[in-house]
Amino acid sequence: MGDQESEIEDLERVFNTAKATPIKISYGALRLITQNFAQVIGSGTFGLVYLGKLQNGAMIAVKKLSLRIEDISNKKFLDEVDVLRRLNHKNIVRFLGYCADTHGEVMDVEGKLRVVEEPQRLLCFEYAPNGNLHDYIREKSYGFEWHIRYQIIKGVCQGLSYLHQERINHLDLKPENVLLGPQMVPKITDFGLSRCFVAQKSVIFTSNIFGTRGYIAPELIDNQQISFKTDIYSLGITLVKLLTQSNEITENWHESLEQDCPQMKRCAQIALSCIKWDPKDRPTIREILDQLDDTETKFRKVDTAVYEPSKDPESSLYQV
């Protein structure tokens, strides 16, 4: 227990230090932090996410990878760690630590009790108290004002711009993979499918089609082609759902938007350009941010209170 408590204290130090290097932590310590993985708070591409609580009361998220196919899972784990350890941005979920242990369990194997050694691969992140963007859109009856939605749009674009500057393709950008932190600051998460582009390479080809149906760019489906414009297509679908306040997209979705909000119109134009069939016709993330900045110079910003579901007794995310 002493070693585990010391590890948890080390994790607390990482949590409290903005630019601290993520640390290795044992499976036993993570079982203690999560109360034996008692509360599921989400799911990622390759595993479930559990709520953890440190000794100082701070909450973290612990992602436990599924190991049905060990070789594949190990590769995905290493790929995700490789991406996460490079990242440090307010609109990217913060990576705190990882576990790469083998844990023995007593199991009934063909009628006999055996000690079976099972690999455990886990990732620790900051906890986002306001859930994810998909649930926020679904529960839009509270606090769905335009200024909050615009803040989320701008933050997601800033996070994606940072990734592309670091030569990282997310490849599974969608509302479920945008967490909402304190003050509704959006944080891109789940890098299980991400790819790092080397040098100045801007297009690669793959033998596999991956991602989430409805967000996968047509060139990946048709030609197995990946570029940074692949993320832009997924961003466009995400923007449409946030603009229309719906997780369902209709054919003429842009006609239902408020006609007297120029900033919303500009965001709709951006979304339409992002989901063009030909990737050459889509803007870069830098061009999108320039357009958003242009709207902000034309319209005076009004400081308005930010609604947080975690502070609303009517929300399923309410925290006492």
pLDDT digits (tens, 9 = 90+) for 76-110: 788 889 899 999 999 999 999 999 988 767 767 77
Instruction: Give the span between the Cα atoms of 240 and 125, in whole angstroms.
Output: 28
| Percent above pLDDT 90 for the chain | 56
Whether 122 and 62 have beta carbons less than 8 Å apart is answered as yes
Domain 133-298 matching CATH 3.40.50.620: the answer reads no
- Quickly list H helices, 123-261: 133-138, 146-165, 218-223, 228-244
Cα-to-chain-centroid distance, residue 122:
16
pLDDT of residue 61: 96
Give the helix/strand (H/E) hosting 30.
helix 27-33
pLDDT digits (tens, 9 = 90+) for 134-174: 999 888 656 678 889 999 999 999 999 999 999 999 999 99
Was 19 annotated as part of a binding site?
no
Architecture of the domain spanning 2-126: 2-Layer Sandwich (3.30)
Domain ranges of the chain: 2-126, 133-298
pLDDT digits (tens, 9 = 90+) for 249-272: 887 888 778 777 888 999 999 999
10, 82, 135, 172: the catalytic one is: 172
Q: Is pLDDT at 193 greater than 60 in this prediction? A: yes
- Is 79 catalytic? The answer is no
Establish whether domains 2-126 and 133-298 are of one fold: no
- Confirm whether pTM is higher than 0.85: yes
